[in-house]
Amino acid sequence: MDYSWIQIAVAAVFISAVVTLVLSRGYGWLSPTFWRNAAVVSSVVMTGILLWLTFDTQGKIRPGAGRVPAWDVINYEIGLKWDPEKRRQVPVVGEKTGFFGQELSNEAAYKLINRGKMTLQGRNCMECHTILGNGAYYAPDLTRAYQDPWWAERLMPMLGVKTREEAIAKWLQNPPAYPQGKRRMPNLHISEEEARALVAFLKWMSAIDTNGFPPRFGVVKAEQ
- Does 148 bind ligand HEC (CB under 6 A)? Our answer is yes
Of positions 19, 23, 131, 219, contacts ligand HEC by CB under 6 A: 219
Alpha carbons 178 and 218: distance in angstroms, whole number: 15
Q: Are strands 130-131 and 88-96 parallel, antiparallel or unpaired?
A: unpaired
- Does 49 bind ligand HEC (CB under 6 A)? Our answer is no
At closest approach, how far in Å is the CB of 142 from ligand HEC? 6
Q: How many residues touch ligand HEC (CB under 6 A)?
A: 26
Helices 106-122 & 192-206 angle (0-180, nearest 10) = 110
Of 41 and 142, the one with the shorter C-beta distance to ligand HEC is: 142
At closest approach, how far in Å is the CB of 32 from ligand HEC? 59
Positions in 106-145 near ligand HEC (CB under 6 A): 120, 123, 125, 127-129, 138-140, 142, 145
At closest approach, how far in Å is the CB of 175 from ligand HEC? 6
Residues that bind ligand HEC (CB under 6 A): 120, 123, 125, 127-129, 138-140, 142, 145, 148, 150, 172, 179-181, 183-186, 188, 190, 198, 217, 219
